Structure 1
Amino acid sequence: MTTFKYIIRFLGKNSALFFFFIYIQSSYNQTNKIDQFHLDKLSFFTDTNNDSILFYAKKLKKSKKPCNFYHALNMEAKAFYQKGLIVLAEKKVNLVLNEIDHKNEYCFKKNKITALTRLFWIYKNKKQYQKAFDAIIKKINVLESLDIKDNYYHANYLSTQNNLAIIKSVLGFHVESRKILKDMIPLLPKIYSNLNNGDYYHKLFKSSTFNLIAESYLKSSINNFKYLDSASYYFRKAFEVAKTFVPPHKNTETLYYLREAEVFIAKKEYRKSLNLIQKYSKNSKEFNTSQNINSLKAICFFNLQVKDSTLHYSKLYLQNFDKKNNNKKRLIAIYNILSNQYYIGKQLDSAFKYSELTIAELKLLDKSKNEINKSHYLHNYNDIKKLNRSILEKEKNSFNTSIFIISIIILIFVLFFSFMLKKNRVISKNLNAIKKQNSTQKKEYNIDNQLEKEILKGIIDLKRNNYFLETGFNIQNLANQLNTNTSYLSYIINKEFNKSFKEYLIQLRIEYLIEKLKTNKEYKKFTIKSLAEEVGYTNASAFTRAFKKYKGITPSEFIKGLNQ
């Protein structure tokens, strides 16, 4: 107290110094208030608005406190990462780590921990698993150097266990990975209870952990199909937690249903998966899900044997593929799909090209011991290698025999053409006679009432299950599904709807597309060719003719009318 009185007495005698002291104190307090305002804003927008994060991080970088400056850099890295700008995020993180490497104050250590956490996720998503593991070890070392083992320490320790569980899952140790993750969940409430924004981070960590458990079940489902139900269960639990976030995450519902779409793919229920993907494609650009959606559509259409859509979405994925993001698993899946699709279509040059790319990427992936001999439900490693080597071998052998085969074909064609020319005259004459006879007759069938009801129900169900969107779908396909013949089927459609099967199919497809154009703005941005493929047409001209015949205007004119 005596010292304080002496200082006051001294400042009283030196009024200029007194007022200077008051000014410095006031400025310091004002700076603290401004910094705290920016810190609060960054905390509020941390997982909801990347542009706002970048705005307030830029403001906080002007702080006179070094720890706040590096916190701002870490937040910029987070925003870039969430935007998918991985290279920029990595640069920001490495800048923080390089500049504070030898600083041991508590706040600098916290910035190191934040930067190393972000670095782990960057390397994990780039499939650089050894570097990701190194980041975990460095983070553990910094954590252990903290003098106080408080809730902050325990929360970050759990985070490192979470990271190690991810690495174990990548290695294929799914049971161990899930045990680590499940053991964490009961510990979360106590650890996060006394932290700033503890309730939010508790929910965020819990939701993330449930998703990781679900992904582990999904990855191991190739050896045990029943795991798929567990995957759905934990994805749902993660979604239920995420719905309670404050502030809410706008992409919560979309991300959940895209994960469910992957489960349907694993179950080989491709039509269900495709319906979910279509429904949640609306905000793909805003939520940074476009590439995931393109690849999932390619996988679904390939397995549904819709060639044009398979090629369209595969090439769309490759067109927008960012090598810096390095998503090798999905890239290999798309290369493999293209090599298969071209192989099926006997286009060996293209099959050869994508087979080479598949094998090359697999060899690169082999270098990471974490991926050696591991299967994934989107593409089985060994099957891919076997198939693509077969394609490469066929391409090699095909060149040696192609000249001989072409010579034989030319000879056969000449002989066959002369024979068919004569035969076609007879066939043409017979067909004209049959058409004439059919035009004067109309068949009536005495079909059992119960059978007729069952067939009619199957026809109506067709509208609900969207089978009519498949390329090449015809009356024979429907007859096979309903265990009847095409004649009965054609008769019932004509009787009930006063249309031929072809006219009824056109109606279903065009009405489906019209509904999509009215309710989903993304469809208005599609090319006519893409719209055609969405409803089962392989040819844009045929689609346009069918649309105009049904609506009286072209698809382009119809879309223009919707936009007015």
Structure 2
Amino acid sequence: MNKLNIDSLNFYFSKSTDVNDICVKLKSFQKKSHQLYKAHKHREAKQIALAYLELTDSLITKNNDDNCLLENRILFLNRLCELEKNHENYDKAYHYLIQIEKTINDKPVKDKINFQHQLQNSLNKAVIKNHLNMPQKAIEIAKETFKENISSIYYDKNSIESLSLEADITKTLADSYILLGKELNNASYLDSAFYFYHKSYDAAKIYDSSAKSAAFKHNIAMTDVLMARKDYKGAINSINNYKNTANSFDYKHHEYMNKAICYHALKNSDSAMYFAKKLIHNKKDKCRRSNLITLYNILSKEYFNLNEIDSAYKYSKLEITSFEKARKNKEKTFQLLYNNDFAEAKKLNSQIIKQENVNDKNKLIYIFSIIIILLLTYLYLVSKKKETNQIILDLKNNNVVEKTEKVAYNINEDFEAEILTAINLMEQQDAYLQADFSINKIAEKLETNSTYISFVFNKHKQETFKQYFTKKKISYIIDKLNTDTTYRKYSIQALAEEIGYGSSSAFTRAFKKQMNVTPSAYIKSLSK
């Protein structure tokens, strides 16, 4: 049921934990941990694996030659290794692989299952070598694992186990050749990656356990090859095919990440920034730190090229902070993973600060020029004071009043409901925080005019479209300032852009009108 139906799995899990056989219980909790892992509930999966690994170890101490207990120990250690690997804690993951290797050697029964554990453990080492940017070493391990597999007495080219292992080995080889191709700028390595990805797909699509995901994973792999070849337009076409191969798998994370990279390379700033922000702000599907670093780097460069220095500095600072966290958490592995990129990030950060200083000087010159213009304007107005006062007096005496008529529209009730639904949906999705959000956007979506939208909105909200969503924007940023101290460190320009304002002055006016205090004063009051 682990591969067929979650409800049935949970039912049989509850049944199997009531039996007296300790091996059955341990296997059941191993399946439960696997189910939670597949559902991205990593914390719960880790808690179960650690708890029952500890129980298994205590039982092994009393009976250290029990093959069943040793088998379950390997499975729990494998789960913990996968969890640490997914969270980029490669030192810990490798530590679990060493424990698995020792347990395999301790097993009294040297059977087919034991041999498969040995091969899978070796392959996992190769995968981690790739993560540590050591592709040459990964290739050596993967090729040796392949030789051991096909030369063993247990090898059966048509068995699920052999096909599964072949798919994993060839994918690892392909990943390694991608890294080598990028590192050495060698197209032949990318051709090898292309070849091994196809070999992996050919093996994976034969056995049922991965049939649903094989096409999707192959699609992602082909995207990686195209991106490595710098064929970013071809990669975009491949990414657009994700939804056709994903089946029930969530493909959005891969789509946003790869599109952000491709559009950045294609110098399409708007699209690159859009997809990068979509992924960063996705609370349900959090990014790995390495992916966050890439996204922060894209945004800092894009804003720097646009000369929006406040935002460039914000994301550059986030990138460097993420590097520092990686340095702290990864210790030895940090040097292998990030040193070159970290140096580049610091260089960009220095350029941003330098440009910010230049911009500050330009602002002073600009402000001084404005003061001179205002002074000249003031002198001109003084000279015309009498004439201006007379005009104002004449206007008052004539009591000129401009009247506007309210127009009532006879709008179909169904269409009115459709307008309200569209407005409510955009409000629920926080669309009003986007810079291009406007009443015209809703009108275009519904293929009508903004006058009808405005009439329906005023009728149901008792205030104008602009008034309502301005309040929503300010309320949103106030909530962020109150609950997340990070926002208090942002510049006023960065806060303005967070809720869709193009300039800090427009944001400040709207904020003060609603709160009777400037954003700067409000932030200071929170810091007391």
1:214 corresponding residue in structure 2? 174
CA distance 1:348–1:152, shift in 2 (3 Å): same
Mapped partners of 1:231, 1:115: distance in 2: 32
Q: Among the aligned pairs, what percent are the same residue? A: 24
1:167 aligns with 2:128: yes
Uncovered stretches (5+) of structure 2, i.e. residues with no partner: 378-424, 430-434, 451-528
Give structure 1 stretches of 5+ with no counterpart. 1-40, 418-525, 531-536, 555-564
Query: After the TM superposition, which segments of 4 or more aligned residues of structure 1 sit over 4 Å from their partners?
Result: 48-55, 189-192, 282-285, 411-415, 537-548, 551-554
Residues 1:344 and 2:305 aligned together: yes
- The one-letter amino acid of 1:141's match is K
Aligned equivalents of 1:332, 1:250: Cα separation in 2: 31
Q: Residue in 2 aligned with 1:98?
A: 54
1:267 maps to: 229
Question: Residue 317 of structure 1: which of 263, 279, 283 is its match?
Answer: 279
Deviations 1:185-229 (A, max 9, x none): 23325658489x992122112111111111111222222232222
CA distance in 2, matches of 1:389, 1:50: 52
In structure 1, which of residues 57, 80, 101 is the aligned counterpart of residue 13 of structure 2? 57
How high is the TM-score relative to the length of structure 1? 0.61
Q: Deviations over 1:490-513 (max 9, x none)?
A: xxxxxxxxxxxxxxxxxxxxxxxx
Give me the whole-angstrom Cα distance separating, in 2, the residues matched to 1:246 and 1:399: 61
Cα separation, 1, equivalents of 2:168 and 2:449: 50
Q: Does 2:249 match 1:293? A: no
Q: Hey, what's the Cα distance between the residues in 2 that align with 1:174 and 1:404?
A: 52
- Taking a change above 3 Å as real, the CA distance of residues 101 and 271 of structure 1, as seen in their structure-2 partners, is same
Residue 288 to residue 55, structure 1, CA distance change in 2 (3 Å): farther
The answer to whether the 8 Å contact 1:193/1:199 transfers is no
The correspondence for 2:71, drawn from 110, 121, 127, is 110
Q: After TM superposition, list the pairs within 5 Å mapping 1:317-336 onto structure 2.
A: 317-321=279-283, 327-336=288-297
The match for 2:239 is 277
Q: Quickly say closer, same or farther: Cα 1:128–1:393, change in 2 above 3 A.
A: farther
Q: Distance in 2 between matches of 1:213 and 1:305?
A: 31
Q: 1:240 aligns with which of 177, 191, 202?
A: 202
Partner of 1:133: 94
CA shift in 2, pair 1:274/1:120, >3 Å: same
Question: Matched residues in 1 for 2:223 and 2:6: separation?
Answer: 26
Determine whether 1:146 maps to 2:107. yes
- Do the aligned residues in 2 keep the contact of 1:373 with 1:382 (CA within 8 Å)? no
- 1:256 deviation in Å? 0.9
In structure 1, distance between residues paired with 2:10 and 2:155? 28
Equivalent of 1:183, from 139, 144, 165? Answer: 144
Q: Counterpart of 2:91 in structure 1: which amino acid?
A: Q
SS of equivalent residue, structure 2 residue 311: helix
Q: Residues 126 and 137 of structure 2 are in contact (CA less than 8 Å); yes or no, is this contact kept in structure 1?
A: yes
1:371 counterpart letter in structure 2: F
Query: Paired residue for 1:251, among 209, 213, 217?
Result: 213
Asked if 1:308 is matched to 2:270, the reply is yes
Amino acid at match of 2:175: E
What amino acid is aligned across from residue 176 of structure 2 in structure 1?
S
Residue correspondence of structure 1 range 371-410 to structure 2 within 5 A: 371-374=334-337, 380-395=341-356, 397-398=357-358, 400-408=360-368, 410=370
CA offset at residue 75 of structure 1?
1.1
| Equivalences for residues 18-97 of structure 1 within 5 A | 41-42=1-2, 45=3, 53-97=9-53
**CA shift at 1:352, angstroms?**
1.2
Residue 58 of structure 1, CA deviation: 3.5
Contact 1:352 1:391 in 2 (8 A): yes
Tell me, yes or no, if the aligned pair for 2:300 and 2:312 is still in contact at 8 Å: yes
Pair 1:52–1:248, CA change in 2 (3 A): farther
Q: Determine the C-alpha separation between the residues in 2 that align with 1:314 and 1:188.
A: 42
8 Å contact from structure 2 (residues 440, 449) kept in 1: no
Give 1:212's aligned amino acid.
T
Deviation of the 1:122 alpha carbon: 0.9
Deviations 1:111-157 (A, max 9, x none): 00011111111111111111111101111121111122222222111
Decide whether the 8 Å contact of 1:117 with 1:136 is kept in 2.
Answer: yes
Compare relative contact order (CA 8 Å, sep 6+) and give the higher one, 1 or 2: 1
Aligned residue identity for 2:249: F
Return the alpha-carbon distance in structure 1 between the equivalents of residues 7 and 158 of structure 2. Answer: 24
* CA shift for structure 1 position 238: 0.7
Deviation at 1:241, TM superposition (A): 0.7
Correspondences of 1:502-541 after superposition (within 5 Å):
none
Deviation at 1:53, TM superposition (A): 4.3
Compared CA separation, residues 189 and 59, structure 1 to 2 (3 A):
farther
User: Could you tell me whether the CA contact under 8 Å between 2:213 and 2:246 is conserved in 1?
Assistant: no
Q: Matched residue of 1:101: which SS?
A: helix
Larger radius of gyration: 1
Question: How far off its partner does 1:249 sit?
Answer: 2.4
Tell me how far 1:527 sits from its aligned partner.
7.4
- Structure 1 residues 283 and 198, CA, compared in 2 at 3 Å: closer, same or farther? closer
Residue type of the alignment partner of 2:334 = E
Match of 2:164 in 1: 204
What SS does the corresponding residue of 1:287 show, helix, strand or coil? coil
Aligned residues: 390
Q: Which residue matches 2:327? A: 366
Asked whether the 8 Å contact 1:299–1:310 carries over to 2, the reply is: yes
Q: Give 1:359 deviation, angstroms.
A: 0.2
Q: 2:335 is aligned with what amino acid?
A: I
Change over 3 Å in CA distance of 1:50–1:207 after alignment to 2: farther
Q: TM-score, normalised by structure 2?
A: 0.65
CA distance in 2, matches of 1:328, 1:90: 19
Instruction: Determine if contact 2:242/2:251 at 8 Å carries over to the other structure.
Output: no
Specify the SS of the correspondent of 1:134: helix
* Cα drift, residue 357 of structure 1: 0.6
- Do the aligned residues in 2 keep the contact of 1:192 with 1:198 (CA within 8 Å)? no
Q: Deviations over 1:413-444 (max 9, x none)?
A: 889x9xxxxxxxxxxxxxxxxxxxxxxxxxxx
Q: Give SS of 1:222's match.
A: helix
Instruction: Work out whether residues 54 and 75 of structure 1, in 8 Å CA contact, stay in contact via their aligned partners in 2.
Output: no
Post-superposition shift, 1:254? Answer: 1.2
Q: Counterpart of 1:465?
A: none
Structure 1 residues 358, 135: CA separation in 2 closer, same or farther (over 3 Å shift)? Answer: same
